[in-house]
Amino acid sequence: MKTLLALTVLTLICFLKHSSAMPVAMEMVINGVECCEVVTNKIHIPVTKVTNVTMTSGCNLEAIIVTTETKKKFCLDPEWKHAQMHLKEFKKKSRQSGAPKV
């Protein structure tokens, strides 16, 4: 019985840690501009799930903000290759979709 209780408590603790382990999406708004409080280089987001990518400007902390299909925003380190790839891919997609169709 004690083993079952210990296993249940351990599972609950793991679940709570996992569900609260993403503070990188926290933002603050300064003069109408989204700014990040924390950036990360540990979250790999599939390119197919990205709907928007922006670069912060006028903030204390520079970041690349990636928005997913589920409207979650992640603040990524602008020096990180994965974040740079998202910015490059999104700019390429934007140019292609904005081109006149013949």
Say how far apart CA 90 and CA 82 lie, in whole Å: 12
Instruction: Compute the C-alpha angle 16/24/26, nearest 5°.
Output: 95
At 26-74, the pLDDT tens digits run: 445 555 567 888 888 888 888 888 898 988 878 888 899 999 999 998 9
Instruction: Give the DSSP H/E element, type plus range, for residue 17.
Output: helix 2-19
The region, left, alpha or beta by phi > 0 then psi within -120 to 50, assigned to residue 66 is beta
Domains identified in the chain and CATH numbers: 23-98 (2.40.50.40)
Q: The whole model's pTM is what?
A: 0.62
